[in-house]
Amino acid sequence: MTRLAKSIAPAGLILAALAALPAQAQVQGNIATVDIPRTIIGTTAFQTGYEQVTTTYATQNELRRTKAQERQTMLAKFDKNGDKQVDDTEQQAMQKSPDFAKLQTLEQEIQALGNQIDGARVFAIEQIIVQYPSALQDVTTKDQIKLVIDPSTLLFAPPEADITTKVTAALNARVPAVGVVPPAGWQPSREGVQIYQEIQQRLIAAQMAQQQQQAAGQQQAAPAPVGR
């Protein structure tokens, strides 16, 4: 996602919609925490939107896999020491090869296909983000909350301070569904790219944790070796 990655902005832009209090201000009222990526991941619009991206861009995704495999096959020709990498010496030989231009073209095509898929996901997320300040305001007004803090900045907060699920419910009411095909000329926002990247990291971490749990469960379920 090279093109999209160039648009990263500082974190916490959504919460800037709420008025910032001076550092020495005495807060009179409820204080809450909200996990922005988890809030968005929990919405129906996000979950169905990601499923729609998988379906809508199935051709691009399959073509990207095919081209990536072709690229790996070509790179393997230059991996003389068999370490599954192309070191500096091998890189020099590759650049002098007639296949180098084709490799560059493949990389550009893979990147372009990836940007289409990533862009569709960012587009879906941005449609949720645009309603985030209003959804957050709905919850803070109803619960009379005076200050909302990112939980990652706290050493401790009681569970009841977490309003993430409440904001998710408010977002579900405001954004029941999203589109996944950006209009012509659309460009991703910096905030959208950053939230997307944070969400992807969460999803990958959750998938890895699930795989580890499954592997541990299979090991426990495996029959013990029978002694002689």
Q: Using H for helix, E for strand and C for coil, what is the string for 73-137?
A: HHHHCCCCCCCCCCCHHHHHHHHCCCCHHHHHHHHHHHHHHHHHHHHHHHHHHHHHHCCHHHHHH
Q: What type of residue is 207? A: Q
The whole-number mean pLDDT for each consecutive block of 10 residues of the chain, a chain of 228 residues, reads 42 47 51 95 97 97 96 84 73 82 93 97 97 96 93 88 97 98 95 96 93 84 63
Among residues 127, 120, 125, the alpha carbon closest in space to that of 180 is found at 120
Taking the whole predicted model, whether its pTM rises above 0.85 is answered as no
- 124, exposed or middle or buried, with CB in 10 Å at 0-12, 13-18, 19+? buried
pLDDT tens-digit readout, 104-161: 999 999 999 999 999 999 999 999 999 999 999 999 999 999 999 999 888 888 899 9
